[in-house]
Structure 1
């Protein structure tokens, strides 16, 4: 099994890659889908070195030896460990990317993508496969989402721009959720936050069943035809927009929920 120890800037190319697992602490990470040869470019690195391995089945791992996938969200070690690297692998390659405080961009993949972050900012661009993002306080931005997406965070914010998800599920404690969506006929969106505000924007001609609920937060909508109820312990706005082919559910405990209309 080929192995490399990376302790200085440089570039590596690999045999065909069937899956990627990358884990870093601080710095910047880019994981990009490409039709060219799989490669790793390191432009900055502090000690300790990164360990790179590719097994006989083509699975590529780029990580610190003591930073496991399961240990990303519980990382407590001190030290800078800053590195800047770019990885290019095929678009059909499953990807796992874990960071502590580093920023990361993952773009163009069609299969399963998993990302974890403690406080680093994550950008997911043009992903069409199943995607899962888990953070402690790190924000996640998704652009051009067309697959299934699951987001879980304690205090991290989620922003979905230009999304057409089949399924979108987001759950936060205090993080804000902002989503600009155009739902396909079978699209299903479920958003939940304890104290973080939720704001969703849909096209004016959306065909969606809507259910907005909050224990004590305010509910606001730019769409007519939704029915509001209020009783001790719960407030709700619900109804059908257009033909009601898709579904949208947004629930908070103390935060507001706002449904906006996109007229163009």
Structure 2
């Protein structure tokens, strides 16, 4: 095992890295897939040093000494620690990234990716495989999603642009969910919100079974194949688009749900 204490801007390269753990407070974090040697570039850092550890089993850890996964919420009132760093590791590397208020970009990975944030914005760019994104109030934007995405937040928003998910499961209390999706035949989408609005767009030609429910929110759709029904305490929109195959379900308490239709090719 090798260890470094980073107190000023610095660059490091490493031997094989199969798992990355990175945890920072404030600033900017970029974790990028690369075919080159694994590397760390610290462009800016305040007076609090980062501890970098590279273990013999290929695990690379970059973190403050006293910042743990379980204790991340305690840093909301802690002294601000700011750093700007970029990590490049192989595309099949397992990623565990955590930020408090820092923004984070994670791009190009194909394995298992987990990102946690308190208030920082997360961008997932071209990430496939198994993806978990959990925030308190931080927003998550996914671009070119392929694979499985699980999103949980209190008030953070989720935006999915040009997504082709095998599985998409999103749960929020008040955060808005906006998703532009192309569903494969086995695609399965489940969305749940209390008061956060849900806006979805599917291609003009899609094959999916749809179920949308809201206790008091409005439900609108451009797909005439779907039928509305209403009973005390529940509004429902259900039906099959095309021959069915993929599934889409959305549930809210007071939030509106809008299902849009993409332009005809």
TM-score, normalised to structure 2, is 0.98
SS in structure 2 of the partner of residue 129 of structure 1: strand
Instruction: Note the C-alpha offset of 1:225.
Output: 1.3
Unaligned segments of structure 1, at least 5 residues: none
| Deviation digits for residues 16-37 of structure 1 (CA, Å, limit 9, x no counterpart) | 1010000000000000000000
Q: Distance in 2 between matches of 1:191 and 1:74?
A: 29
Query: Secondary structure of 2:84's match?
Result: strand
Matches within 5 A, 1:60-209: 60-209=60-209
Residue of structure 1 in register with 2:7 after alignment: 7
Aligned with 1:175: secondary structure? coil
In structure 2, how many angstroms separate the alpha carbons of the residues matched to 1:159 and 1:249?
17
SS at match of 1:167: strand
CA offsets per residue over residues 185-229 of structure 1, 9 Å max, x none?
Answer: 000000000000000000010100000100000000011111111
Deviation at 1:77, TM superposition (A): 4.2
Shift of 1:80: 1.7
Q: CA–CA distance in 2 between the matches of 1:251 and 1:75?
A: 33
Q: Paired residue for 2:231?
A: 231
Superposed displacement of residue 73, structure 1: 3.9
Q: Is the 8 A contact 1:201 1:262 kept in 2?
A: yes
Q: Deviations over 1:31-55 (max 9, x none)?
A: 0000000000000001210000011
Cα distance change on mapping 1:40 and 1:123 into 2, 3 Å: same
How many residues are paired up?
A: 264
Structure 2: gaps (5+ residues): none
| RMSD, aligned CA | 0.8
Does residue 47 (structure 1) correspond to residue 54 (structure 2)? The answer is: no
Partner of 1:224: helix, strand, or coil?
coil
CA contact (8 A) 1:183 1:206 kept: yes
Residue pair 1:73, 1:136 contacting (<8 A) in 2 also: no
Contact 1:72 1:116 in 2 (8 A): no
1:37 and 2:37 aligned? yes
Is the partner of 1:75 in helix, strand or coil?
A: helix
CA contact (8 A) 1:73 1:117 kept: no
Question: Which deviations, in whole Å up to 9, do the C-alpha atoms of 1:84-108 show, x marking residues without a partner?
Answer: 0000000000000100000000000
